[in-house]
C-alpha cells in the first residue's frame, strides 16, 4: 500500500498552541494620532460650524424609505475609505477625492471610516462631526447613516451617492 501513513499512538495528545491575540497596532497609532491632533490642533469656530451631530442624514425631498433601506443594509457597500490618523485638511481632501472617484466609477453605496476617537481626551471623535458636516454639504451625497457594529459602528458611516449622470 502506497501513500498510507500510520495513525499516531492513542496515548499521545496533540495540543496546538494558540497564537496570541493580535495587537491592534493601527488602533494604538490611531489613538496616538487623535490625541496629538486634539492637543495640538484646537477646533475653531469654522470647524464647529462645519461639523454635524446627527448620526444620519437624508437630502431634502427624498423619501424616508431611502434612509430606512440604507440603515437596514439593503444597499451593498461597494468601496470604503479610512480617514484614521489624518488631520482635518488631509481627511477633507481624501474624502473629496474618494467621493469624486466613486461617483465617476458609478459606485452608489460606500463606507467612510472616521474612527471612534478613543485616543482623544474626551473620548469623542473629532473627525466624526467634521465628516458628517462635510458629507451633508456635498451635492453627490443623498443620505448617510451610522454603520452597523460589524461594519464599524460609531466609527463609520454608510453613504449613499447619487447616480452618475
pLDDT of residue 98: 95
pTM for the complete prediction? 0.66
Domain ranges of the chain: 25-161
What pLDDT, on a 0 to 100 scale, did the predictor assign at position 142?
92
Q: What is the pLDDT at residue 39?
A: 43
Round to whole Å and give the CA distance between 117 and 100: 26
pLDDT tens digits for range 11-44: 766 666 776 666 555 555 655 555 555 444 554 5
| Highest CATH level, class, for 25-161 | alpha beta
Cα–Cα distances (Å) from 87 to 5, 45, 66, 135, in that order, read 59, 17, 32, 17
**Below-70 pLDDT ranges, the chain:** 1, 8, 12-16, 19-54, 118-124, 165
Amino acid at each position: 500500500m502506497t501513500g498510507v501513513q500510520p495513525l499516531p499512538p492513542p496515548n499521545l495528545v496533540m495540543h496546538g498552541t494558540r497564537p496570541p491575540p493580535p495587537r491592534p497596532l493601527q488602533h494604538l497609532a490611531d489613538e496616538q494620532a487623535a490625541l496629538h491632533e486634539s492637543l495640538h490642533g484646537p477646533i475653531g469656530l469654522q470647524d464647529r460650524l462645519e461639523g454635524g451631530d446627527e448620526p444620519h442624514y437624508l437630502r431634502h425631498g427624498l423619501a424616508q424609505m431611502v434612509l430606512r433601506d440604507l440603515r437596514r443594509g439593503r444597499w451593498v457597500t461597494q468601496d470604503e475609505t479610512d480617514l484614521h490618523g489624518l488631520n482635518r485638511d488631509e481627511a477633507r481632501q481624501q474624502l473629496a477625492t474618494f467621493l469624486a472617484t466613486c461617483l465617476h466609477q458609478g459606485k452608489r453605496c460606500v463606507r467612510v471610516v472616521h474612527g471612534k476617537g478613543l485616543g482623544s481626551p474626551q473620548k469623542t471623535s473629532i473627525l466624526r462631526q467634521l465628516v458628517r458636516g462635510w458629507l451633508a454639504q456635498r451635492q453627490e451625497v443623498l443620505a448617510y447613516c451610522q454603520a452597523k457594529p460589524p461594519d464599524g459602528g460609531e466609527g463609520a458611516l454608510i453613504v449613499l451617492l447619487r447616480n452618475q449622470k
